[in-house]
Amino acid sequence: MEVAILSNKLNLLVVGSGGREHAICKAFSKSQIVENVYCAPGNVAMESSKIKPVSIPELNFEELANFVIANKIDWTFVGPEDALVAGIVDYFKERGLAIFGPNKIASQLEGSKDFALNFMVNHEIPTARYQTFQKSENAIKALTNFSAPIVIKADGLAGGKGVTIANTSDEAVDVIKKMFDNGETQIVLEEFLNGPEYSLFVIVNGSDFQILPMAQDHKRAFDNDSGPNTGGMGAYSPVPQLAQEDYQNMIVKVVEPSIKGLNSEQFDYHGILYIGLILTEQGPKVIEYNVRLGDPETQVVLPRLESDFAQVIDDCINGLKMEKLSINPQACLNVVLAAEGYPTNPRKGQLLPSFTQEPGISIDYANVIKDGDQFYGNGGRILSVVSIQKTLIEAQKKAYSYMKNYEFENCRFRKDIGNKAFKD
């Protein structure tokens, strides 16, 4: 008589569909404690032996929870901010389901710029001087309180594209009027902070936290940081130009007060906290919080994590103290391939090449569809070419030399990802 051997390995669900979620799923699938990784809704290019896309929209909480119950999912990891801000964690916990991410109240740190800035002020976390407005005429009158350039932000979620830097007062007036005309109900004016930007990700489990490898994102659409803001056109890790003393200042002046603030506000924060930093002449200052992993930074941060990412999150889920993270000393760089016209009017339907496997190169897919054996772009950011090598300059050379092997119709990508590491 044969005896069935039951697996003690985990079945996991990742919510989301982009390149970030593809990287998260890959990290989980490498774990020895994981059996299957489901991704809802995922994308057609994610399928592998362990990763299984599930066609459930990320905001359909009821159907997602039903899937978790029916498929005996051990816990869920949330990728995108919209699901977190809409309260997926609260919904899952009400149904007794394990999930990793901040609740709806804590998610306002990303869902509202005004909420986040007030949090920083209340907990003495260095940030820009700001004012919040519900009417365009009041915001326009207040422009005299700010020197050009002026940072204008939509208060709510904008997918990384809700920030405009106006170089003149006239330009600022036009931007303010357009934002309110397009339906914004609240905007924030901020002083412009000058200095290099850095991405810092913290795994938070109440008062316990661990810091992931530092990265630098490239937000502008075109080379040399020109053009409109996007969701991100590429990233790299580590950031060798950041001095150890400056990094320690970020921990002491920003990270530790942020964690202390989360606990004093009783947010019961269990999830990822992204801290967008500018290193000014006065020291590090926060430009924004996000309540999840970033895209495209995740694609270069997680490959450098030698610790078992699934085990780290599983420890958090089970109320255990996290062990110190082990980081790979190699460098990782990714170049985002975006549709022509992104972010304002992206093209769709472009035929994508069939990539050959090459050591040190991987592809994280985002907005793609499939017809037969062929993949096609489906707008926005289509995929990331990810390179990991011994040094950053080698990772940069490898990524771009690999991309030269292919033709990308109706697509574009920046040619200068990583250059800041050699200039700053």
Q: What's the pLDDT score for residue 159? A: 62
Q: What's the pLDDT score for residue 162? A: 74
Q: Is the pLDDT of residue 255 over 70?
A: yes
- Mean pLDDT, the chain, whole residue set: 94
Q: Token pair for residue 258?
A: 């942020």
Q: Is the pLDDT of residue 424 over 70?
A: no
What are the tens digits of pLDDT across the range 107-136?
A: 999 999 999 999 999 999 999 999 999 999
Q: Which of 210, 212, 216 is nearest to 240 (CA)?
A: 216
> 8 falls in which pLDDT band (50, 70, 90)?
confident
> 48 falls in which pLDDT band (50, 70, 90)?
confident
Q: What's the average model confidence in pLDDT over 174-189?
A: 91
CA distance 307 to 328: 9
The helix or strand, by DSSP H or E, that contains position 263, with its residue range, turns out to be helix 256-264
Burial of 325 (0-12, 13-18, 19+ CB in 10 A): middle
CA distance 62 to 95: 10
Asked if residue 342 lies in contact with residue 367, where contact means CB atoms within 8 angstroms, the answer is no
Q: What's the pLDDT score for residue 1? A: 43
Q: What's the pLDDT score for residue 157? A: 84
Q: Is the pLDDT of residue 337 over 90?
A: yes
Q: Token pair for residue 36?
A: 């299957």
> Per-residue DSSP letters for 268-297?
--EEEEEEEEEEETTEEEEEEEESS--TTT
pTM score of the predicted model: 0.94
Q: Is the pLDDT of residue 38 over 90?
A: yes
Q: Which of 193, 249, 196 is nearest to 422 (CA)?
A: 196
Q: Is the pLDDT of residue 360 over 70?
A: yes
> 296 falls in which pLDDT band (50, 70, 90)?
very high
Q: Is the pLDDT of residue 267 over 70?
A: yes
Domains of the chain: 10-100 (3.40.50.20), 129-191 (3.30.1490.20), 194-317 (3.30.470.20), 331-423 (3.90.600.10)
> Per-residue DSSP letters for 311-358?
HHHHHHHTTPPPPPPPB-SSEEEEEEEEETTTTTS----PBPP-PPP-
Q: Token pair for residue 406?
A: 């292919």
Burial of 328 (0-12, 13-18, 19+ CB in 10 A): middle
Q: What's the average model confidence in pLDDT over 402-414?
A: 96
> 229 falls in which pLDDT band (50, 70, 90)?
confident
Q: What's the pLDDT score for residue 3? A: 44
CA distance 363 to 115: 36
Q: Is the pLDDT of residue 382 over 80?
A: yes
